[in-house]
Structure 1
Amino acid sequence: MSHLTRFDPFSIEPVSEMFQGLFRPLRGLSPEESPLGQVRIDVSETDAVYQVKAELPGVEKKDIDVKLDRNTVSIHAKSERNKEVKEGERVIRRERYAGEVSRTFSLGSEIDEAGASAQYQDGILTLTLPKKASADQKRLQIS
């Protein structure tokens, strides 16, 4: 004889099967999931300067653009790959990324743009950003 089961319309099982995987993040929409990823930075400061180290692996120096505006730093990098396939050659797997990545962030004080410098070596962009001398605060005398 067959088994009888009671139908429960409020059971969670049919609903979970129907929506399984619906709320998983979509691939490629998150900056962390892009092949180049987000520009990862380390920022340190002294009384006089900010030092920013940004990871830009596989990017050529000529393809990096850094902009400074008061206390805002913008880093933009472009990576291009040679997709040329020689005759008789076929690509089995291509994992190296070609595209653009950027990062903008603010620092606590304004930057002296005239004294700023940048170096790029071994995939690490190092920015030395001197702080602008702050104008001394003027104290008003109350009469």
Structure 2
Amino acid sequence: MSLIPRDSWLDFNQMFDHAFPTLRHKFDAESFSPRIDIVEKEDCFEITADLPGVRKEDISVQINSGNLTIEATTSKDEEQKEGDKVIRKERYEGKLMRSFYLGHNLQHETVSASFKDGVLKVEVPKIEPTHPTSARIEVK
């Protein structure tokens, strides 16, 4: 009998890691993306993204045809000494990307972004939407 409580999901993850180590690594790398909150206000969209371990220089924010794309790259700065043995690696290294369609009524020129303590904040101002006009067409 063990005095240490065990989590059955932890056991399952360890079994999966040992049975399919190459598949697990590929699954983690392809499925990682930053967590994002999008809030629509009357005059703008506010986007907040968690980017832990990312440097400000490695972040790219683009807006094109109503699509906002956030990209970032992260790398591990590992210094491994001779004789060290890696037991487990879980931290992500590579490119992160999220893209969202916000609409066409955006003011591209005044989009602002700031990054502090691993959190990216983007504010995308909206403009008054153009209302489609309708006209009656006479059929001849």
Report TM bin, short chain: 0.5 to 0.7
Question: 5+ unaligned residues in a row in structure 2: which ranges?
Answer: 1-15, 17-22
Aligned-CA RMSD value? 2.8
Normalising by the residue count of structure 1, what TM-score does the alignment of the two structures yield? 0.66
Q: Does 2:110 match 1:115? A: yes
Q: 1:62-73 to 2 correspondence within 5 Å?
A: 62-73=57-68
SS in 1 for 2:24: coil
Deviation, 1:73, is 0.8
Equivalent residues of 2:67, 2:103 under 8 A apart: no
Alignment of 1:43 with 2:35, yes or no, is no
* Superimposed CA distance per residue, residues 98-131 of structure 1 (whole angstroms, 9 cap, x where no aligned partner): 2111111112443211010001111111110011
Measure the CA separation in 2 of the matches of 1:29 and 1:82: 21
How many residues end up aligned between the 2 structures?
Answer: 116
Partner of 1:90: 84
- 1:46-101: CA deviation from partner (whole Å, max 9, x where unpaired): 12100011111110000001110121011111012223335x67354454332111
1:60 matched to which residue of 2? Answer: 55
Partner Cα distance (2:90, 2:26) in 1: 18
Q: Decide whether the 8 Å contact of 2:36 with 2:47 is kept in 1.
A: yes
| Bigger-Rg structure (1/2) | 1
The answer to whether the 8 Å contact 1:36/1:101 transfers is: no
DSSP-derived class of the 1:53 partner: strand
Give the match for residue 126 of structure 1: 121
Name the amino acid aligned to 1:51.
Answer: E
Percent identity over the alignment? 30
Normalising by structure 2, what TM-score?
0.67
